[in-house]
Amino acid sequence: MSKFSRIKNIIIGIVVIVMSVLMLAFPSTGYYMVTIILGVVLLINGIKQFIYFFSMGIHMIGGKMILYRALITMDLSFFILSIKGIGQRYIMVYFIIYYFFAGIIIIFRAYESRKVEAGFWKWKLLNGIIKVTVAIMCIICNNSEDVMLYLMCFGLIISAVTRIGMALKKTAIIYIQ
């Protein structure tokens, strides 16, 4: 992992912790702040993927996957930015669904890392299991918005700490001669 990636992951982890604390401190406005931040971040990510596709990905094998990912990311960002007027319970449902599928993808990537004998696949697996467990617990406790909020913030903080831990972990450098 490069120094820039490490710094980026540490900053993202700190921002997620701050967003979780804001959601706990100010639940009514915290939801909307988080949805706006998430929508803008996804929009910027989608634009970056479009630029990458049109500059390099169009000439690559499998470049259409970059285009599809950019389209889905942009669509998701537009959807998230347009849900300002609905209630907090619906916003939590979208976060839970997003969190559940993100956890599933992380688990699959952890098993893929295990196959190539990467050193930190256990961190990824633990992070994915925590995300899926938090999402399932939120679905089970969907009668209480407060319990869902606490569980979701707990899961976000654990994920952020895991991200910061992976960024601070030293990685082996392989020299090819």
Radius of gyration of the chain (CA): 18
pLDDT at site 104: 92
175 part of a folded domain: no
104 in any annotated domain: yes
Per the listing, tokens 């082996």 go with: 172
Q: Are 157 and 127 in contact (CB under 8 A)?
A: no
| Domain membership flag for residue 176 | no
Span 159-163, average pLDDT = 84
Pick from 85, 165, 101: which is nearest to 136 by CA?
101
Q: Is residue 114 part of a domain?
A: yes
Q: Is residue 31 part of a domain?
A: yes
What separation in angstroms does the CA of 102 have from each of 52, 130, 144? 23, 11, 23
Q: Average model confidence (pLDDT) for the chain?
A: 82
Is 149 within the bounds of a domain? yes
Return the pLDDT at 138. 83
Q: What is the pTM of this model?
A: 0.68
In a domain? residue 155: yes
Segments forming the whole domain that contains residue 85: 3-168
Per-residue confidence (pLDDT) for residue 173, from 0 to 100: 66
pLDDT tier at 172 (50, 70, 90 boundaries)?
A: low
Domain assignment present for 42: yes
pLDDT of 14 strictly over 90:
yes
Q: How many domains does the chain have?
A: 1
